[in-house]
Amino acid sequence: MTSIAAKNQQGQVQSLWKLISDESQPYHHILRMGFLAGITLLFLGLIGMLEAFNEREVIRDVVTLAQFVLFVPTFAAAYMAAQRIREEQSIGMVLVAATIIGLLSAIPTIVILLINTQVNIRDMFVHVNRDWLEIITFDNRNQLGLGIGLLLGSLGLAGLLGAVLQNLPQKIRRSVIFGLSLMLVIGVMSETVGLIMQEIFTDDFLDNFFKRDTLLLNSAIGLFVFGVALIWVPDKVRRSFVFGLVVAMVALGLRNLLLAIDSLTSIIPTSEEGFLDVFLYFLLPFVAGFAGRLYLEYGSRDSNKAKTDTKATTSTGRPIRVDLIVSIAILLVAPWIVGRALSDVMVTIGIFVLMGIGLNVAVGLAGLLDLGYVTNYAVGAYVLAVMTSTGPLGLFNSQEGVIVNFWMVIPVALLAAMLAGFVFAVPVLKMRGDYLAIATLGFGEIIGRLAVSDALAPIIGGAQGMSFIPKPELLGFTLKDPEQLYYIILVACAITLIVSIRLNNSRTGRQWMAIREDEDVASAMGINVAQAKLLAFTISAATGGVAGAIFAAKVGTVFPNSFSVIVSINVLSLIIVGGMGSNPGIVVGAIVLIGLPELLREFSDFRWLMYGALLIWMMNNRPDGLWPSQVRRRELIGDDSSPPADESPMMASE
Amino acid sequence: MSLLEVNDVHTYYGNIHALKGISFTVDEGEIVTLIGANGAGKTTTLRTVSGLMKPRNGTVFYADENIHDYEAHKMVSKGIAMVPEGRGVFGKMSVKENLELGAYYRNDAAGIRQDMEYMFSLFPRLGERHSQVAGTMSGGEQQMLVMARAMMSRPKLLLLDEPSMGLAPVLVDSVFDTVKRVSQEGMTILLVEQNAHMALQIADRGYVLQSGEIVLSDSAKNLQNDPIVQKTYLGVD
Three-state SS string over chain B comes to CEEEEEEEEEEEECCEEEEEEEEEEEECCCEEEEEECCCCCHHHHHHHHCCCCCCCEEEEEECCEECCCCCHHHHHHHCEEEECCCCCCCCCCEHHHHHHHHCCCCCCHHHHHHHHHHHHHHCHHHHHCCCCEHHHCCHHHHHHHHHHHHHCCCCCEEEEECCCCCCCHHHHHHHHHHHHHHHHCCCEEEEEECCHHHHHHHCCEEEEEECCEEEEEEEHHHHHHCHHHHHHHHCCC
Contact B133 A634 (CB under 8 A): yes
The nearest alpha carbon in chain B to A520 belongs to B52
Confidence band (pLDDT; 50, 70, 90) for A584?
confident
Contact B101 A514 (CB under 8 A): yes
Does residue A217 have a pLDDT over 60? yes
Among A511, A647, A651, the residue with its CB nearest the CB of B138 is: A647
> Is residue A367 within 8 Å of A447, Cβ to Cβ?
no
Is A180 part of a structural domain of the chain? no
Is A599 part of a structural domain of the chain? yes
Is A132 part of a structural domain of the chain? yes
Query: Distance, in angstroms, between A362 CA and closest chain B CA?
Result: 18
Query: Distance, in angstroms, between B177 CA and closest chain A CA?
Result: 8
Which SS3 state, helix, strand or coil, does residue A456 take? Answer: coil
Check whether residue A461 and residue A587 sit in a common domain: yes
Does residue A220 have a pLDDT over 80? yes
Check whether residue A287 and residue A430 sit in a common domain: no
Is A35 part of a structural domain of the chain? yes
Of A558, A294, A534, nearest to A413 (Cα)?
A558
Contact B170 A650 (CB under 8 A): no
pLDDT in tens, A237-273: 888 888 888 888 888 888 888 887 777 667 767 666 6
Q: Which residues of chain B neighbour A653 with C-beta distances below 8 Å?
A: none
Contact A652 B135 (CB under 8 A): no
Contact B76 A525 (CB under 8 A): yes
Q: Which residues of chain B neighbour A505 with C-beta distances below 8 Å?
A: none
pLDDT value at residue A597 = 79
Does residue A134 have a pLDDT over 80? yes
Does residue A445 have a pLDDT over 50? yes
Query: To the nearest whole number, what is the mean pLDDT of chain B?
Result: 88
pLDDT value at residue B194 = 85
Residue to mutate among B73, B89, B174, with most A CBs inside 10 A, is B73
The nearest alpha carbon in chain A to B168 belongs to A647
> Is residue A137 within 8 Å of A144, Cβ to Cβ?
yes
pLDDT value at residue A128 = 85
Query: Distance, in angstroms, between A355 CA and closest chain B CA?
Result: 26
Q: Which residues of chain B neighbour A650 with C-beta distances below 8 Å?
A: 123, 125, 140-141, 143-144, 171, 174-175, 177-178
Q: Which residues of chain B neighbour A648 with C-beta distances below 8 Å?
A: 125, 138, 140
Among B71, B90, B171, the residue with its CB nearest the CB of A517 is: B90
Check whether residue A296 and residue A347 sit in a common domain: no
pLDDT value at residue A318 = 62
Mean pLDDT: which of A389-398, B15-24, B67-76 is highest? B15-24
Percent above pLDDT 90 for chain A: 20
Does residue A17 have a pLDDT over 70? no
Model pTM? Answer: 0.83
> Rounded distance, CA A17 to CA A344, Å?
56
Does residue A315 have a pLDDT over 60? no
Query: Distance, in angstroms, between A630 CA and closest chain B CA?
Result: 10
Query: Distance, in angstroms, between A623 CA and closest chain B CA?
Result: 16
Does residue B91 have a pLDDT over 90? no
Contact A523 B132 (CB under 8 A): no
Q: Which residues of chain A neighbour B136 with C-beta distances below 8 Å?
A: 638-639, 642, 644
Residue to mutate among B90, B94, B138, with most A CBs inside 10 A, is B90
Query: In chain A, how many domains are there?
Result: 3
Check whether residue A310 and residue A346 sit in a common domain: no
Is A644 part of a structural domain of the chain? no
Is A157 part of a structural domain of the chain? yes
Residue to mutate among B77, B83, B133, B144, with most A CBs inside 10 A, is B133
Q: Which residues of chain A neighbour B137 with C-beta distances below 8 Å?
A: 644-645
Q: Which residues of chain B neighbour A644 with C-beta distances below 8 Å?
A: 136-138
| Strand ranges across the sheet with A63-64 | A63-64, A57-59, A214-215, A210-211
| Strand ranges across the sheet with B57-62 | B16-27, B2-13, B57-62, B65-66
Check whether residue A556 and residue A613 sit in a common domain: yes
Confidence band (pLDDT; 50, 70, 90) for A636?
very low
- Name the residue with higher pLDDT: B234 or B11: B11
> Rounded distance, CA A383 to CA B188, Å?
57
**Residue that finishes a domain, picked among A111, A142, A167:** A167
Check whether residue A255 and residue A387 sit in a common domain: no
Does residue A15 have a pLDDT over 70? no
pLDDT value at residue A313 = 45
Check whether residue A288 and residue A336 sit in a common domain: no
Query: To the nearest whole number, what is the mean pLDDT of chain A?
Result: 82
Check whether residue A161 and residue A260 sit in a common domain: no
Check whether residue A157 and residue A239 sit in a common domain: no
- Once rounded to an integer, what is the mean pLDDT over residues B32-47? 89
Check whether residue A335 and residue A372 sit in a common domain: yes
Contact B174 A650 (CB under 8 A): yes
- Once rounded to an integer, what is the mean pLDDT over residues A174-182? 89
Does residue B172 have a pLDDT over 50? yes
pLDDT in tens, A66-111: 888 899 999 999 988 888 887 777 888 888 888 999 999 999 999 9
Confidence band (pLDDT; 50, 70, 90) for A630?
low
- Once rounded to an integer, what is the mean pLDDT over residues A602-610? 77
Domain holding A44, by residue range, is 2-167
Contact B50 A524 (CB under 8 A): yes
pLDDT value at residue A394 = 72
The nearest alpha carbon in chain A to B121 belongs to A652
- Once rounded to an integer, what is the mean pLDDT over residues A133-147? 86
pLDDT value at residue A86 = 77
pLDDT in tens, A516-545: 888 888 888 888 989 999 999 999 999 999
- Once rounded to an integer, what is the mean pLDDT over residues B94-111? 88
Among A523, A649, A654, the residue with its CB nearest the CB of B72 is: A523
- Once rounded to an integer, what is the mean pLDDT over residues B40-68? 89
Contact A513 B90 (CB under 8 A): yes
> Is residue B19 within 8 Å of B45, Cβ to Cβ?
yes
pLDDT value at residue A622 = 82
**Residue that finishes a domain, picked among A314, A345, A373:** A314
Query: Distance, in angstroms, between A624 CA and closest chain B CA?
Result: 14
Neighbour count for residue B214 (Cβ, 10 Å): 21
**Interface size between A and B, measured as CB pairs under 8 A:** 128
Is A33 part of a structural domain of the chain? yes
What are the angstrom distances between the C-alpha of A598 and each of A187, A581, A591, A595? 17, 25, 10, 5
> Rounded distance, CA A653 to CA B124, Å?
10
> Rounded distance, CA A404 to CA A63, Å?
55
- Once rounded to an integer, what is the mean pLDDT over residues B64-84? 87
> Rounded distance, CA A380 to CA A552, Å?
8
**Residue that finishes a domain, picked among A146, A167, A188:** A167
> Rounded distance, CA B141 to CA B161, Å?
16
Does residue A303 have a pLDDT over 60? no
Check whether residue A436 and residue A557 sit in a common domain: yes
Is A420 part of a structural domain of the chain? yes
Check whether residue A341 and residue A242 sit in a common domain: no
Contact A526 B104 (CB under 8 A): yes
Among A518, A527, A634, the residue with its CB nearest the CB of B104 is: A527
Greatest CA span in chain A, whole angstroms?
A: 101
Q: Is B64 exposed, middle or buried (0-12, 13-18, 19+ CB in 10 A)?
A: exposed
Does residue A308 have a pLDDT over 50? no
Which SS3 state, helix, strand or coil, does residue A168 take? Answer: coil
pLDDT value at residue A312 = 41
